[in-house]
Amino acid sequence: MPYPVLPPLPPDSPLGKVLDQPLILGLFLPIHNGGWTMSAYPRATDWTFDYNAALTRQAEALGFDLVFGPAHWLSKGGFGGEIRYRETALDTLMAAAGLAAVTERILLISTVHIFYGPWHPLHLAKFGATLDHMSGGRWGLNVVTGFRKDEWSMFGQQQPDHDRRYELADEYVSLLQQLWAGEEDLDYHSAQWTLSKAFVTPKPRYGRPIIVSATSSAAGIAQAVRQADLIFVTSPAGASFDAAIEALPGITRQVREAAAAIGRNVRILVNPMIIARDTEAEAHGVYQEILRQADHGAVDGFFHTHATGDSRSWRGHQRDERIVGGNIQLVGTPEQITGQILRLKAIGCDGLQLCFVDYEPELAYFGERILPLLKQAGLRL
Protein backbone atom coordinates (compact mmCIF):
# COMPACT_ATOMS: atom_id res chain seq x y z
CA MET A 1 0.00 0.00 0.00
CA PRO A 2 1.21 3.58 -0.54
CA TYR A 3 2.24 5.44 2.60
CA PRO A 4 2.26 9.24 3.04
CA VAL A 5 5.41 10.90 1.75
CA LEU A 6 7.75 12.56 4.21
CA PRO A 7 6.76 16.15 4.99
CA PRO A 8 9.49 18.77 4.45
CA LEU A 9 11.48 20.14 7.35
CA PRO A 10 11.02 23.89 7.96
CA PRO A 11 13.54 26.39 6.53
CA ASP A 12 14.68 27.39 10.02
CA SER A 13 15.62 23.82 10.94
CA PRO A 14 19.29 22.80 10.93
CA LEU A 15 18.76 20.90 7.67
CA GLY A 16 16.82 23.82 6.19
CA LYS A 17 19.81 26.09 6.78
CA VAL A 18 22.19 23.54 5.22
CA LEU A 19 20.05 23.40 2.09
CA ASP A 20 20.86 27.05 1.44
CA GLN A 21 24.38 25.96 0.44
CA PRO A 22 24.96 25.54 -3.31
CA LEU A 23 27.04 22.45 -2.47
CA ILE A 24 26.54 20.45 0.73
CA LEU A 25 29.79 19.32 2.37
CA GLY A 26 29.92 16.27 4.58
CA LEU A 27 32.61 14.12 6.14
CA PHE A 28 32.40 10.31 6.10
CA LEU A 29 33.76 9.47 9.54
CA PRO A 30 36.22 6.56 9.93
CA ILE A 31 34.45 5.00 12.93
CA HIS A 32 35.92 1.61 12.01
CA ASN A 33 39.55 0.52 11.76
CA GLY A 34 41.18 0.93 8.36
CA GLY A 35 38.94 3.77 7.24
CA TRP A 36 38.20 3.43 3.54
CA THR A 37 41.64 2.23 2.51
CA MET A 38 42.68 -1.44 2.48
CA SER A 39 46.40 -0.80 2.66
CA ALA A 40 49.32 -0.69 5.07
CA TYR A 41 50.06 2.83 3.80
CA PRO A 42 51.13 4.77 6.93
CA ARG A 43 48.50 7.07 8.40
CA ALA A 44 47.08 8.13 11.72
CA THR A 45 43.41 7.52 10.80
CA ASP A 46 41.76 5.85 13.80
CA TRP A 47 38.38 4.37 14.70
CA THR A 48 38.24 5.69 18.27
CA PHE A 49 35.58 8.08 19.49
CA ASP A 50 38.11 10.70 20.56
CA TYR A 51 39.68 10.73 17.09
CA ASN A 52 36.31 10.99 15.37
CA ALA A 53 35.11 13.66 17.77
CA ALA A 54 38.22 15.71 16.95
CA LEU A 55 37.57 15.24 13.23
CA THR A 56 33.95 16.32 13.67
CA ARG A 57 34.95 19.47 15.51
CA GLN A 58 37.57 20.14 12.84
CA ALA A 59 34.95 19.75 10.09
CA GLU A 60 32.52 21.98 11.97
CA ALA A 61 35.17 24.69 12.33
CA LEU A 62 35.75 24.54 8.57
CA GLY A 63 32.01 25.05 7.96
CA PHE A 64 31.13 21.50 6.91
CA ASP A 65 27.44 20.71 7.04
CA LEU A 66 27.27 17.12 8.26
CA VAL A 67 29.15 14.05 9.39
CA PHE A 68 28.04 10.54 8.66
CA GLY A 69 28.86 7.20 10.24
CA PRO A 70 28.63 3.87 8.37
CA ALA A 71 27.48 0.61 9.98
CA HIS A 72 28.83 -2.91 9.54
CA TRP A 73 28.10 -6.21 11.25
CA LEU A 74 31.15 -8.41 10.80
CA SER A 75 32.52 -11.55 12.39
CA LYS A 76 35.92 -11.78 14.10
CA GLY A 77 38.64 -10.50 11.79
CA GLY A 78 36.32 -8.15 9.92
CA PHE A 79 36.92 -8.30 6.19
CA GLY A 80 40.28 -9.92 6.91
CA GLY A 81 43.87 -9.27 5.94
CA GLU A 82 46.78 -8.18 8.07
CA ILE A 83 44.88 -5.10 9.19
CA ARG A 84 41.73 -7.11 10.05
CA TYR A 85 39.84 -4.52 8.04
CA ARG A 86 36.87 -2.99 9.89
CA GLU A 87 36.86 -5.60 12.65
CA THR A 88 36.55 -2.80 15.21
CA ALA A 89 33.76 -0.27 14.78
CA LEU A 90 31.74 2.16 16.87
CA ASP A 91 27.96 2.05 16.96
CA THR A 92 26.54 4.94 14.97
CA LEU A 93 23.69 5.83 17.36
CA MET A 94 25.93 5.89 20.41
CA ALA A 95 28.62 7.82 18.53
CA ALA A 96 26.08 10.45 17.44
CA ALA A 97 24.91 10.88 21.03
CA GLY A 98 28.49 11.57 22.09
CA LEU A 99 29.12 13.92 19.19
CA ALA A 100 25.97 15.91 20.00
CA ALA A 101 27.58 16.92 23.29
CA VAL A 102 30.79 18.26 21.73
CA THR A 103 29.40 20.08 18.67
CA GLU A 104 27.04 22.99 18.08
CA ARG A 105 25.99 23.27 14.44
CA ILE A 106 26.99 20.28 12.30
CA LEU A 107 24.41 17.62 11.38
CA LEU A 108 25.00 14.13 12.81
CA ILE A 109 23.79 11.19 10.70
CA SER A 110 23.59 7.61 12.04
CA THR A 111 23.34 4.57 9.79
CA VAL A 112 20.92 1.93 11.10
CA HIS A 113 19.93 -1.43 9.60
CA ILE A 114 16.30 -0.98 10.53
CA PHE A 115 15.29 -4.63 10.12
CA TYR A 116 18.06 -6.35 12.06
CA GLY A 117 16.98 -7.78 15.38
CA PRO A 118 14.41 -6.65 14.38
CA TRP A 119 14.35 -3.02 15.50
CA HIS A 120 10.76 -2.28 16.49
CA PRO A 121 9.72 1.12 15.08
CA LEU A 122 8.69 2.23 18.57
CA HIS A 123 12.21 1.66 19.90
CA LEU A 124 13.90 3.57 17.08
CA ALA A 125 11.34 6.39 17.20
CA LYS A 126 12.08 6.86 20.90
CA PHE A 127 15.85 6.74 20.45
CA GLY A 128 15.66 9.08 17.46
CA ALA A 129 13.46 11.58 19.28
CA THR A 130 15.92 11.58 22.18
CA LEU A 131 18.90 12.14 19.87
CA ASP A 132 16.99 14.92 18.12
CA HIS A 133 16.38 16.55 21.49
CA MET A 134 20.01 16.12 22.60
CA SER A 135 21.35 17.63 19.37
CA GLY A 136 18.85 20.46 18.94
CA GLY A 137 17.35 18.95 15.80
CA ARG A 138 20.70 18.08 14.22
CA TRP A 139 20.38 14.29 14.25
CA GLY A 140 19.48 12.23 11.21
CA LEU A 141 18.80 8.58 10.41
CA ASN A 142 20.37 6.87 7.41
CA VAL A 143 17.89 4.08 6.65
CA VAL A 144 19.54 0.92 5.32
CA THR A 145 17.81 -2.39 4.66
CA GLY A 146 20.70 -4.87 4.72
CA PHE A 147 22.03 -6.26 1.45
CA ARG A 148 24.34 -8.93 2.90
CA LYS A 149 22.93 -12.32 3.83
CA ASP A 150 25.69 -12.96 6.38
CA GLU A 151 24.57 -9.91 8.37
CA TRP A 152 21.00 -11.15 8.42
CA SER A 153 22.12 -14.59 9.57
CA MET A 154 24.16 -12.99 12.38
CA PHE A 155 20.80 -11.92 13.81
CA GLY A 156 19.20 -15.32 13.10
CA GLN A 157 17.02 -13.89 10.33
CA GLN A 158 16.27 -14.67 6.70
CA GLN A 159 16.89 -11.86 4.22
CA PRO A 160 13.77 -10.70 2.34
CA ASP A 161 14.01 -10.09 -1.40
CA HIS A 162 15.68 -6.86 -2.53
CA ASP A 163 12.57 -5.00 -3.68
CA ARG A 164 10.48 -6.30 -0.77
CA ARG A 165 12.92 -4.74 1.69
CA TYR A 166 12.26 -1.30 0.24
CA GLU A 167 8.49 -1.82 0.45
CA LEU A 168 8.97 -2.63 4.13
CA ALA A 169 11.22 0.40 4.58
CA ASP A 170 8.45 2.63 3.24
CA GLU A 171 6.11 1.27 5.90
CA TYR A 172 8.75 1.50 8.62
CA VAL A 173 9.67 5.14 8.02
CA SER A 174 5.99 6.02 7.79
CA LEU A 175 5.50 4.49 11.24
CA LEU A 176 8.44 6.49 12.61
CA GLN A 177 6.91 9.66 11.25
CA GLN A 178 3.50 8.88 12.75
CA LEU A 179 5.12 8.29 16.15
CA TRP A 180 7.17 11.48 15.95
CA ALA A 181 4.26 13.64 14.79
CA GLY A 182 1.36 12.02 16.62
CA GLU A 183 -0.33 13.82 19.48
CA GLU A 184 -2.40 10.78 20.38
CA ASP A 185 -1.67 7.11 21.02
CA LEU A 186 -1.05 5.05 17.89
CA ASP A 187 -2.74 1.72 17.26
CA TYR A 188 -1.39 -0.11 14.23
CA HIS A 189 -1.34 -3.66 12.94
CA SER A 190 0.20 -5.16 9.80
CA ALA A 191 1.87 -8.40 8.83
CA GLN A 192 5.16 -6.94 10.07
CA TRP A 193 4.47 -4.68 13.05
CA THR A 194 1.91 -4.19 15.78
CA LEU A 195 1.65 -1.13 18.02
CA SER A 196 -0.98 -0.67 20.72
CA LYS A 197 -1.44 2.71 22.39
CA ALA A 198 2.07 3.67 21.31
CA PHE A 199 3.31 7.17 22.05
CA VAL A 200 6.71 8.85 21.82
CA THR A 201 8.15 11.85 23.64
CA PRO A 202 9.98 14.17 23.51
CA LYS A 203 8.66 15.32 20.17
CA PRO A 204 11.41 16.19 17.68
CA ARG A 205 12.11 19.89 17.70
CA TYR A 206 11.21 20.48 14.03
CA GLY A 207 8.57 17.78 13.65
CA ARG A 208 10.89 14.90 12.80
CA PRO A 209 14.60 14.08 12.46
CA ILE A 210 16.47 14.20 9.15
CA ILE A 211 16.05 11.10 6.99
CA VAL A 212 18.75 9.83 4.65
CA SER A 213 18.87 6.94 2.19
CA ALA A 214 21.76 5.43 0.24
CA THR A 215 20.71 3.60 -2.90
CA SER A 216 21.07 3.34 -6.65
CA SER A 217 18.52 0.63 -7.51
CA ALA A 218 15.11 1.40 -9.02
CA ALA A 219 13.27 0.05 -5.97
CA GLY A 220 15.59 1.92 -3.59
CA ILE A 221 15.17 5.20 -5.44
CA ALA A 222 11.39 4.83 -5.50
CA GLN A 223 11.37 4.44 -1.71
CA ALA A 224 14.02 7.09 -1.03
CA VAL A 225 12.32 9.90 -2.94
CA ARG A 226 9.22 9.27 -0.82
CA GLN A 227 10.89 8.97 2.56
CA ALA A 228 14.26 10.77 2.58
CA ASP A 229 15.65 14.29 2.52
CA LEU A 230 19.14 13.36 1.32
CA ILE A 231 19.89 10.50 -1.07
CA PHE A 232 23.37 9.07 -1.50
CA VAL A 233 24.00 7.51 -4.89
CA THR A 234 26.97 5.54 -6.20
CA SER A 235 28.71 5.32 -9.52
CA PRO A 236 27.84 1.98 -11.13
CA ALA A 237 30.83 2.30 -13.48
CA GLY A 238 33.59 2.34 -10.90
CA ALA A 239 35.49 4.94 -8.92
CA SER A 240 37.66 6.49 -11.63
CA PHE A 241 36.51 10.03 -12.22
CA ASP A 242 36.14 9.69 -15.99
CA ALA A 243 33.97 6.57 -15.67
CA ALA A 244 31.87 7.99 -12.84
CA ILE A 245 31.21 11.33 -14.54
CA GLU A 246 29.73 9.44 -17.50
CA ALA A 247 27.58 7.09 -15.42
CA LEU A 248 26.19 9.38 -12.73
CA PRO A 249 23.94 11.67 -14.83
CA GLY A 250 21.57 8.79 -15.54
CA ILE A 251 21.14 8.13 -11.83
CA THR A 252 20.79 11.75 -10.75
CA ARG A 253 18.22 12.29 -13.50
CA GLN A 254 16.26 9.23 -12.37
CA VAL A 255 16.21 10.47 -8.78
CA ARG A 256 15.08 13.98 -9.69
CA GLU A 257 12.35 12.80 -12.03
CA ALA A 258 11.02 10.32 -9.47
CA ALA A 259 10.97 13.00 -6.76
CA ALA A 260 9.34 15.58 -9.02
CA ALA A 261 6.62 13.09 -9.96
CA ILE A 262 5.40 13.08 -6.34
CA GLY A 263 6.04 16.76 -5.68
CA ARG A 264 9.20 16.38 -3.61
CA ASN A 265 12.60 18.04 -3.82
CA VAL A 266 15.45 15.88 -2.53
CA ARG A 267 19.19 16.47 -2.51
CA ILE A 268 21.65 14.02 -4.06
CA LEU A 269 25.05 13.32 -2.51
CA VAL A 270 28.06 11.28 -3.61
CA ASN A 271 31.10 9.95 -1.76
CA PRO A 272 34.49 11.03 -3.16
CA MET A 273 37.88 9.95 -1.87
CA ILE A 274 40.08 13.06 -1.98
CA ILE A 275 43.83 12.73 -2.54
CA ALA A 276 45.09 16.28 -2.95
CA ARG A 277 48.69 17.43 -3.04
CA ASP A 278 50.60 20.48 -4.27
CA THR A 279 51.48 18.76 -7.56
CA GLU A 280 49.68 16.22 -9.71
CA ALA A 281 52.72 13.94 -9.65
CA GLU A 282 52.77 13.92 -5.86
CA ALA A 283 49.05 13.12 -5.61
CA HIS A 284 49.30 10.22 -8.05
CA GLY A 285 52.45 9.07 -6.29
CA VAL A 286 50.46 8.72 -3.06
CA TYR A 287 47.80 6.76 -4.94
CA GLN A 288 50.39 4.34 -6.30
CA GLU A 289 52.05 3.93 -2.92
CA ILE A 290 48.70 2.99 -1.38
CA LEU A 291 48.35 0.31 -4.05
CA ARG A 292 51.92 -0.90 -3.52
CA GLN A 293 51.20 -1.49 0.16
CA ALA A 294 47.75 -3.02 -0.43
CA ASP A 295 46.45 -5.56 2.07
CA HIS A 296 45.33 -8.15 -0.45
CA GLY A 297 43.80 -10.41 2.20
CA ALA A 298 41.46 -7.58 3.20
CA VAL A 299 40.62 -6.86 -0.44
CA ASP A 300 39.84 -10.53 -1.13
CA GLY A 301 37.64 -10.68 1.94
CA PHE A 302 35.84 -7.47 1.00
CA PHE A 303 35.05 -8.64 -2.52
CA HIS A 304 34.01 -12.11 -1.35
CA THR A 305 31.69 -10.73 1.33
CA HIS A 306 30.07 -8.18 -0.95
CA ALA A 307 29.60 -10.77 -3.70
CA THR A 308 27.29 -12.70 -1.36
CA GLY A 309 24.91 -9.72 -1.15
CA ASP A 310 22.40 -8.29 -3.59
CA SER A 311 23.42 -4.62 -3.61
CA ARG A 312 22.99 -2.92 -6.99
CA SER A 313 25.74 -0.42 -6.13
CA TRP A 314 29.54 -0.73 -6.39
CA ARG A 315 29.42 -3.56 -8.95
CA GLY A 316 31.61 -1.77 -11.48
CA HIS A 317 34.41 -1.03 -9.04
CA GLN A 318 37.79 -2.50 -9.82
CA ARG A 319 40.22 -4.03 -7.35
CA ASP A 320 42.64 -1.09 -7.30
CA GLU A 321 39.75 1.31 -6.78
CA ARG A 322 38.51 -0.59 -3.75
CA ILE A 323 42.01 -0.69 -2.23
CA VAL A 324 42.15 3.12 -2.22
CA GLY A 325 38.47 3.58 -1.37
CA GLY A 326 35.67 5.99 -2.09
CA ASN A 327 32.85 5.76 -4.58
CA ILE A 328 34.57 8.35 -6.77
CA GLN A 329 38.24 9.21 -6.58
CA LEU A 330 39.42 12.80 -6.99
CA VAL A 331 43.20 12.85 -7.30
CA GLY A 332 45.36 15.86 -8.15
CA THR A 333 46.11 19.44 -7.22
CA PRO A 334 43.61 21.66 -5.38
CA GLU A 335 42.77 23.35 -8.68
CA GLN A 336 42.20 20.04 -10.47
CA ILE A 337 40.01 18.71 -7.69
CA THR A 338 37.96 21.92 -7.61
CA GLY A 339 37.37 21.50 -11.35
CA GLN A 340 36.22 17.92 -10.83
CA ILE A 341 33.84 19.01 -8.06
CA LEU A 342 32.38 21.64 -10.39
CA ARG A 343 31.72 18.92 -12.95
CA LEU A 344 30.00 16.75 -10.32
CA LYS A 345 27.79 19.69 -9.42
CA ALA A 346 26.97 20.24 -13.10
CA ILE A 347 25.71 16.66 -13.53
CA GLY A 348 23.30 16.88 -10.62
CA CYS A 349 25.30 16.16 -7.46
CA ASP A 350 24.10 18.51 -4.71
CA GLY A 351 26.67 17.51 -2.14
CA LEU A 352 29.79 15.56 -1.28
CA GLN A 353 30.42 13.18 1.60
CA LEU A 354 34.22 13.23 1.68
CA CYS A 355 36.66 10.59 2.84
CA PHE A 356 40.43 10.76 3.09
CA VAL A 357 43.30 8.33 3.56
CA ASP A 358 44.96 10.17 6.46
CA TYR A 359 42.04 12.15 7.77
CA GLU A 360 43.28 14.90 10.07
CA PRO A 361 46.08 16.41 7.94
CA GLU A 362 44.21 15.88 4.67
CA LEU A 363 41.03 17.48 6.02
CA ALA A 364 43.16 20.43 7.15
CA TYR A 365 44.73 20.64 3.67
CA PHE A 366 41.26 20.55 2.09
CA GLY A 367 40.18 23.42 4.32
CA GLU A 368 43.30 25.48 3.58
CA ARG A 369 43.70 24.87 -0.15
CA ILE A 370 40.46 23.60 -1.68
CA LEU A 371 37.67 25.18 0.35
CA PRO A 372 38.67 28.75 -0.66
CA LEU A 373 38.54 27.67 -4.32
CA LEU A 374 35.05 26.24 -3.82
CA LYS A 375 33.96 29.55 -2.32
CA GLN A 376 35.47 31.46 -5.24
CA ALA A 377 33.59 29.17 -7.62
CA GLY A 378 30.28 29.94 -5.86
CA LEU A 379 29.83 26.43 -4.49
CA ARG A 380 30.06 27.46 -0.83
CA LEU A 381 28.55 30.50 0.85
Q: What is the pLDDT of residues 296-330, one digit of tens each?
A: 999 999 888 766 666 655 566 789 999 999 999 99
pLDDT for the residue 304: 83
Helices (H) and strands (E) in the chain, counts: 14, 12
Q: What's CA 308's distance to the chain center, in Å? A: 21
The rounded distance, in Å, linking the Cα atoms of 174 and 343 is: 35
Q: What's CA 122's distance to the chain center, in Å? A: 23
Cβ count within 10 A of residue 277: 20
The rounded distance, in Å, linking the Cα atoms of 28 and 87 is: 18
Residue 246 parent element (H or E): helix 241-261
Name 51's Cβ contacts closer than 8 Å, sequence gap at least 6: 30, 45
pLDDT for the residue 309: 66
Write the single-letter amino acid at 379: L
The rounded distance, in Å, linking the Cα atoms of 152 and 165 is: 12
3-state secondary structure of 189: strand
In this prediction, the residues of the chain whose per-residue pLDDT falls under 70 are 1-2, 306-316
pLDDT for the residue 113: 97
Answer yes or no: are the C-beta atoms of 307 and 317 closer than 8 Å: no
> Which DSSP symbol is given to 182?
-
pLDDT for the residue 317: 73
Helices 49-61 + 92-102 axis angle, to 10: 50
Q: pLDDT tens-digit profile of 190-206?
A: 999 999 999 999 999 99
Answer yes or no: are the C-beta atoms of 293 and 40 closer than 8 Å: yes
pLDDT for the residue 224: 97
Answer yes or no: are the C-beta atoms of 322 and 34 closer than 8 Å: no
Please give the biggest Cα pair distance in the chain: 64
In order, the DSSP letters of 208-234 are S-EEEEE--SHHHHHHHHHH-SEEE--
The rounded distance, in Å, linking the Cα atoms of 346 and 344 is: 5
Answer yes or no: are the C-beta atoms of 372 and 292 closer than 8 Å: no
Burial of 235 (0-12, 13-18, 19+ CB in 10 A): buried
